[in-house]
Chains A and B, each alone.
Chain A
């Protein structure tokens, strides 16, 4: 009886969460003629035509590369600035520490909607309007507080005694950090980087407002999807969904702790 209940629950929940994903994958691979044929639920053959057209002819490939560049810039900057800050928050006692943590939490909850429009004014002055770098810098600002908070909790998981032992054996504090703490924290940091990638990959508002010609994939789709035929919409959905699903699979070990910790 209990076994039956679990089997039923498993099936129902899986269908609810995976069903829609299956549908968009199927729709993106369905030939246009089959899609517009009412009697055909399953296509007679599968085709990559729509995905290929979206990538090659409709600017999808360029937008995808822009997305990757933007995420790369965002991850690079936010980790370069966030790791030292996260380390300082874990390993040092100083006045104003809680204040700084609060500032991080606050900036983490500021929606990009609020800052994107006026950021354009700043960008016009800095010659960053409509550039990949500009969008990347904005995404770095979105990701940075997350990186500070999450790295600080990752570093606090590495025992300070290891570092002290290293320093007893003649390493400098920086040397101990690079040789001992970093390698131990690396898996967690890699998972955070993947998570940061997803945050940037999915962000659409700032990417739409800050750039017109250099749009990321979601922004490109947002501005063109309404006008394209349905099968291109589905192709776009599939292209956006696949990396996100792959990345979630990669960080599955950290899935719970990532959100659990990052919320404290």
Chain B
């Protein structure tokens, strides 16, 4: 009896120990590194918070998230609704939309570089159509707002499929009887969407938003490859301070800020939006 009681713990223990050693331990290490500096335990934070680069990085990361996520959500809802209608070819379209799902941010950045590079396809096509006389430049210190635009476009292209798949899974779990009932009562398609589909989709939307927001604060490869430090982002600064400046303490401080922002955002979503959803569930 007692042995049987121990079995599940013995099965789980190796995984837990591994996670403690390779995630728990390093997190403690990150705290240690970021709180140790010659100028007292808050020295790194004082230095980081007062630097222009940090303020830019935080601002850029927030703005990117604020622009990219709503676009992705709107696009993904539209795409999920489109694919969820079982027309000829919906399955093929599902796989086509899923194509960027497995691509890394590095790959996505290189892909968009092939289009927006000075000799890239956008310029070639526009020139051959005689729509522009000189090539457009999207990269370089002088063109920060254009770089920003390309980063947004790349992120939307790369990560909308993830939101799409989550929402599609949610749509498919909606009981069609609700919609059939709405048909009986003569609801318009828009009213059906707003009154039935959207509320029932809410849990999936929350998960998708949560996942996307968490990832948004880790944005790195796309921004680093396309803009370097023209447009600093939090994870990019971590990389810069560790790999190029060889300063573990400042790098860890940035990492800790990312962790903190991530934690606050996750807490915000789960705390406010989900509980509201649950209350609505109770009222029904």
Q: How far is the CA of A107 from the CA of B25 in the complex (A)?
A: 12
Choose among B99, B101, B119, B256 the residue that contacts A35 (Cβ–Cβ < 8 A): B119
Report whether over half of chain A's contact residues are helix, strand or loop; otherwise say mixed.
helix
- Among A211-264, those with CB < 8 Å from B are 218, 221-223, 225-226, 230, 233-234, 236-237, 240-241, 244-245, 247-249, 252, 255-257, 259-260, 263
Q: Which residues of B contact A188 (CB under 8 A)?
A: none
Q: Are B106 and A94 in touch, CB under 8 angstroms?
A: no
Note all chain A residues with C-beta closer than 8 A to B12.
Answer: 84-85, 88-89, 100
Q: Which of A10, A24, A144 contacts B93 (CB 8 A)?
A: A10
Question: CB of A168 within 8 A of chain B?
Answer: no
Q: Is the CB of A84 within 8 A of B11?
A: yes
B60 at interface by CB-CB < 8 Å: no
**Is the CB–CB distance between B19 and A144 below 8 Å?**
yes
Q: Is the CB of A36 within 8 A of B119?
A: yes
User: What residues on A are CB-neighbors of B232 within 8 Å?
Assistant: none
A252 touching B95, Cβ below 8 Å: yes
- Interface residue B9 (Cβ < 8 Å from any Cβ of A): yes
- Count of A interface residues, CB-CB < 8 Å: 85
Segment at the A interface, from B63-71, B163-171, B176-184, B190-198? B163-171
Q: Considering the complex, which residues of chain A in the window 112-145 have a beta carbon less than 8 Å from any beta carbon of chain B?
A: 113-122, 137-138, 140-141, 144-145
CB-based contact B98/A248 at 8 Å: yes
Residue of A77, A118, A204 near B221 (CB, 8 A) is A204
Residues in B neighbouring A117, C-beta threshold 8 A: 30, 33, 238, 242, 248, 251-252, 255
Is there a chain B Cβ closer than 8 Å to A162's Cβ?
A: no
**Residue B225 contacts which of A16, A148, A222, A249 (CB distance < 8 angstroms)?**
A222
CA distance A263 to B135 in the complex (A): 45
Closest B residue to A241 by beta carbon equals B107
Question: What A residues does B18 contact at CB under 8 A?
Answer: 77, 81, 140-141, 144
Given the interface pairs A117-B251, A255-B98, the reply to whether A240 lies near B29 with Cβ below 8 Å is no
Is B37 interfacial (CB-CB < 8 Å)? no
Q: Does A58 contact B (CB under 8 A)?
A: no
Q: Give complex CA distance A153, B208 in Å.
A: 19
With A85-B11, A218-B106, A255-B165: A122-B96 Cβ-Cβ less than 8 Å: no
Q: How far, in Å, is A214 (CB) from chain B's closest CB?
A: 15
Q: Which residues of A contact B92 (CB under 8 A)?
A: 10
Size of B's binding interface in residues, CB under 8 A: 92
Contacts known (A88-B7, A114-B256); A10 close to B89, Cβ less than 8 A: yes
Residue from A38, A122, A204, A233 in contact with B113 in the complex, judged by beta carbons closer than 8 Å = A233
Q: How far is the CB of B103 from chain A (nearest CB, A)?
A: 5
Q: What is the distance, in angstroms, from B187's C-beta to the closest C-beta of chain A?
A: 19
A 33-50 binary contact with B (CB < 8 Å = 1; else 0): 001101111000000000
Known: A114-B30, A202-B102. A20 touches B214 (CB 8 A): no
Q: Which of chain A's residues have a CB closer than 8 A to the CB of B100?
A: 17, 21
Residues of B near A36 (CB, < 8 A) are 119
Complex Cα spacing A203 to B106, Å: 9
Contact of A252 among B5, B98, B105, B262 (CB under 8 A): B98
B114 contacts A27, C-beta separation under 8 Å? yes
Residues of A within 8 A of B258 (CB): 111, 113-114
Q: Please name the residue on chain B nearest to A89 by beta carbon.
A: B12
The answer to the question of B172 belonging to the interface, with a C-beta cut-off of 8 Å to chain A, is yes
B221 contacts A92, C-beta separation under 8 Å = no
Residues of B within 8 Å of A226, CB to CB, are 225, 228
Among the stretches B43-51, B121-129, B141-149, B271-279, the one at the interface with A is B121-129
The residue on B at minimum CB distance from A27 is B114
Given contacts A109-B266, A115-B30, A234-B110, is CB(A14)–CB(B127) below 8 Å? no
Say yes or no: A100-B82 contact (C-beta < 8 A), given A109-B266, A114-B259, A244-B107.
no
Determine the chain B residues whose CB is within 8 A of the CB of A77 once the complex forms. Answer: 18
Q: Is the CB of B221 within 8 A of A114?
A: no
14 A-B pairs whose Cβ atoms sit less than 8 Å apart in the complex? A82-B15, A94-B8, A109-B266, A111-B217, A114-B30, A116-B255, A117-B242, A117-B252, A120-B248, A122-B29, A222-B224, A233-B110, A236-B110, A260-B170
Which B residues form the contact surface with A (CB < 8 A)?
Answer: 5, 7-9, 11-12, 14-16, 18-19, 22-23, 25-30, 32-33, 79, 82, 87-89, 92-107, 110-115, 117, 119-121, 123-125, 127-128, 135, 157, 161-162, 165-166, 168-170, 172-173, 207, 211, 214, 217-218, 220-221, 224-225, 228, 235, 238-239, 242-243, 248, 251-252, 255-256, 258-259, 262, 266
Which A-B residue pairs are the 7 nearest by beta carbons? A118-B29, A260-B169, A237-B110, A202-B104, A141-B22, A244-B102, A92-B8
